[in-house]
Every structure is written in C-alpha cells, then in structure tokens.
Amino acid sequence: MTTDTDALLPKVMDLLLDLVCVVDRDGRYVYVNAACERVLGYRAAELIGRRMIELVHPNDRQRTIEAAERVANGYSHIDFENRYLRKDGGVVHLMWSARWSQADDVRLAVARDVTELRRTTGVRDALYLISEAAHAAEGLDQLYAHIHRIVGGLLPAANFAVVDYDRTTDRVSWAYHADEREPRPEPQPLRADTPIARVIRGKSALLVATGGGSGPGRAVPADGSGHPDWLGVPLVSHQGVIGALVVRSYCSDVRYSQADRSLLAFVSTQIATVIERKQAQTRMLHLAQHDPLTDLPNRLLFEDRVDVAIKRAHRDGELLGMLYLDLDDFKEVNDRFGHHAGDRLLQDIARRLQGCVRESDTVARMGGDEFTVLLTNIRTREDCTVVEAKLRKALAAPVEIEGASVSVSASIGAAAYPGDGIDADSLMRRADEGMYAAKRGRQSRPRLAEF
C-alpha cells in the first residue's frame, strides 16, 4: 500500500489542534489550517491575502511587528505570546513558534491557544492584586484606580466605571469614571428602564452587545441606555448590592463575550469586599476628623492642615492667614429656643462660613460656638481683613428660628504667617488673643438686642 503524502499533508495539517499559518514578506497570509478558522472565527478565504497584523490586538501590535522582523532576519522565535481579535470581537491568547524559510521567502508559524490558561492565571493574579490594593490604597479614589488597572489586565477596560448605589434613596453615583468620550455623570435616581438598573436590582451580570461600535465621536449614556457594547456586574456584599462595575467599548474591534461577563462577575465578589472595607475605613476616618454636627473639620484635622500649609508656604514663599471666631451671645439662643434650635443655627452658620472662602481654604469647628478659618496662599495680610468683612456680612443675615428672626455676630481675631508666627501653635494663639480682644471691646460697648 502506498501513501500519497502530497494529498495526506493538507488533511494532517487540518487535523492538528494547533494553528499553522504561512505569511509572506509583506505580512499577508498565504496559508492557514483549519485550526486558524476555528480559533479566530474567520474562514480561510477571509484570511488569505489579509495582513496578519490587522488581527493582532492593538496593544500587542508593535512588539509583534518587532518579533516578525527578527524572524525575517533569520532568528527563530519560540514561545512568543500575543493576543488576537476574533471575528466576533473576542480576544484569544496565542503562544507562537516561528521561523523564516529563506528559499520560499515566507514565515512559517505554529501557535497554541492558551486563552483559558491565561484566564486562570490572570484571575489568580487579579485576586491577589485586589487584596494588595486594599492595603496599599490610601483612599477610595486610589483604590478605584488600582481596580481599574487590575480589570484592564483581564479584559479591555479603557472605559471603566465604579458605580455606587444608595439603597436608602435608590440613587446611583459614579464614584470612579474613566471614559474616552463621556464626562462623569451627575448622581441620579436609578431609572428602571436602564441596564444599570437591571444589574443592580437583578443582582446579576448583564452583557448588552449591539453587534458593532457606536460610531465616530458619538457619546453614550453611562447607565447603558443607547450603548455600544456594555458589560455590567453587581457589587454584592453581605449587606446587599452596594453598586456595580461597568466596562464598555465604542469600537467594533473590541467586543465583550460571555466569557468576559463570567470573568468580571467572578472577580467582582472580592472587589465588592475590598470596596466595602475601604468605605468603612473612610467613614471612620471622616468621623474621627470631622465635627459630627456641622461636618466641618475638627480641631485635629484643622491643625494637621495648618501644619501642611505652613510647610508648603515655607517652601514656596507663600503667606497664610488664620481667623478665630467666637459667636456673640450664642448661649442666649440656646436658653430661649433650646439646644435643638442652637444646633440648627450652628449648622446654618457653618454653611455660611464655607460660602465665604475658596475650596483651598479650610473652615473648622473648634467646639461649642468657636470656629477657625485657614486662608492659604494669600497676597497680603489685608486679605484676612477682606475675608473677615465677608464673614461678618454673612453672619449678619437673619435666621428664622421657631418663628423668630435671629441675627448673630461674632468676635474675630486674625493672624498671618510668617509675621505672627511660624508654627500652628503660635498662629492659633495670636488669632485667639485677637478674638478675645475683640470680645472684650464688644462687651465694653452698650449692648443691642440681637433678637
């Protein structure tokens, strides 16, 4: 019995589980076996004559070109790994071996599909990195950025968001939002007709694929309505759904699959745990550094910000201002209307004081009816006087309490760095002395009825 090897060879090549292809010097396919069709999703006729690099994942193209050039120069390449885009938009990881045939002026390459292996090791590494990120991140913003990078190592995530869900108000907010086209949305009610609502209320992952991109320059809502490819998974903790992770693609070359859906859903469990833990830590730190009544920074946080501001001012040659305020006759408000009314008045005063300064400045409550203001990077000491006048004007506006119109005033002392002190203690002492001097001066004058 004789064997026609010429007829047998194509059959053998198509029986191989590994991909086999031949590429000419211009980088175009001249031969592919059946495994190429099965793994990449293209028929052989669609691949022959097409440039190989067009199928390579955009992030891997440059190093693939460099590897192909080395092979063309006579260097064999073993175990080169890169990613390819399937016809359906999915991503496959391939491990290649290749060499150049000088006689035929072509590159012969054999590859094995290692996608599942990479998914397994990728998930394992991602879980470890998520745990590490929970300890390394100093706050929620930094944690979300770490999570974005980790998810991006598992699947395409150029457009990525972490959505917070408030069960008490049934509202969502975009705690983290990286998107090439759309700005961060404002907090909003959870609309029942959106994919994000289906993810959060249904407690299940959702993949919405349109079959193509959204078109050049077209932005789409972050909640998934009017979307391109949109993939969302819920963040579920022991307390219930606390939010969602969302990735989306504007490009028809980058599509999401059910495998991506399962992958993101799997890692979301640990992500939810570390986010909830970091949120709890953030809340505890906020409570430790802020006044519970007005939510202003307390003495501890104020002194820390003064120390940081002084170091920056010393380094950059800046001036700082500090104001110390004590409300006049606040006790009479408590005595007449009760402590509950006094608390509401303090909250109103806190809002007024914050409205008189810049975002870079700090208003703090020292306790009782005493407040401080840190003014950063002022031009002259006279800026303190200008802000002081704004504060007095803001405080003078009447407040309605228990049906009565109440006006308050404050005794204010000021200090400036470096003229009145070069550290937090000396500045605070100088401003405090000025405040008491102003209060003594007021007490020496005839008193007018405040209400």
pLDDT at residue 402, rounded to an integer? 74
Q: What percent of the chain has pLDDT over 70?
A: 92
Q: pLDDT tens across 242-272, in order?
A: 999 999 988 777 788 888 898 899 999 999 9
Q: Are 262 and 231 in contact (CB under 8 A)?
A: no
Average pLDDT of the segment spanning 418-443: 89
> At which residue do the structure tokens 């004058």 appear?
445
327-335, long-range: CB < 8 A, 24+ apart: 327/369, 327/370, 327/395, 327/408, 327/409, 327/410, 328/408, 328/409, 328/410, 328/411, 328/439, 328/442, 328/450, 329/408, 329/450, 330/368, 330/369, 330/408, 332/450, 333/401, 333/406, 333/408, 333/451
Cα–Cα nearest to 131, from 157, 153, 150 = 150
Average pLDDT of the segment spanning 200-226: 63
Q: Are 303 and 351 in contact (CB under 8 A)?
A: no
Domain 118-289 has CATH 1.10.1240.10: no
pLDDT at residue 210, rounded to an integer? 63
Q: pLDDT tens across 91-127, in order?
A: 899 999 999 999 899 999 999 999 888 888 888 888 8
Q: Are 224 and 246 in contact (CB under 8 A)?
A: yes
Task: Using CA atoms of 20, 25, 27, 32 in order, give the dihedral in degrees to the nearest 10.
Answer: -20
Spatial neighbors of 406 by CB under 8 A, at least 6 apart, are: 333, 345, 398, 399, 400, 450, 451
| Distances, alpha carbon 336 to alpha carbons 331, 346, 418, in Å | 9, 15, 43
- 216: exposed, middle or buried (Cβ count in 10 Å: 0-12, 13-18, 19+): exposed
pLDDT at residue 156, rounded to an integer? 86
| Gap between the Cα atoms of 260 and 156, Å rounded | 9
Q: What percent of the chain has pLDDT over 90?
A: 61
Q: Which of 35-44, 163-172, 424-433, 441-450 has the lowest mean pLDDT?
A: 441-450
| Gap between the Cα atoms of 417 and 314, Å rounded | 9
Average pLDDT of the segment spanning 287-300: 94
pLDDT at residue 216, rounded to an integer? 34
Fold classified for 299-443: Alpha-Beta Plaits (3.30.70)
pLDDT at residue 448, rounded to an integer? 38
Q: pLDDT tens across 366-422, in order?
A: 999 999 999 999 999 899 999 999 999 999 888 887 777 887 889 999 999 999 999
Kindly list the domain boundaries of the chain, sorted by start residue. Answer: 5-113, 118-289, 299-443
Sequential DSSP letters for 281-334: HHHHHHHHHB-TTT--B-HHHHHHHHHHHHHHHHHHT-EEEEEEEEETTHHHHH
pLDDT at 17 over 60: yes
pLDDT at residue 337, rounded to an integer? 84
Higher pLDDT, 217 or 180: 180
Which architecture characterizes domain 5-113 according to CATH?
2-Layer Sandwich (3.30)
pLDDT at residue 401, rounded to an integer? 77
pLDDT at 449 over 70: no
Q: What is the SS3 assignment for 215?
A: coil
Q: Which of 188-192, 303-307, 442-446 has the lowest mean pLDDT?
A: 442-446
Task: Using CA atoms of 178, 182, 187, 189 in order, give the dihedral in degrees to the nearest 10.
Answer: -120
pLDDT at 1 over 50: no
The Cβ of residue 50 has, within 10 Å, a number of other Cβ atoms equal to 15
pLDDT at residue 78, rounded to an integer? 86
Q: 156: alpha, beta or left, given left = phi > 0 and alpha = psi -120 to 50?
A: beta
pLDDT at residue 88, rounded to an integer? 83
pLDDT at 192 over 60: yes
| Exposed e or buried b per residue across 345-359, where buried means at least 16 C-beta atoms within 10 angstroms of its C-beta | bbebbbebbbebbee
Are domains 5-113 and 118-289 of this chain identical in fold? yes
pLDDT at 9 over 60: yes
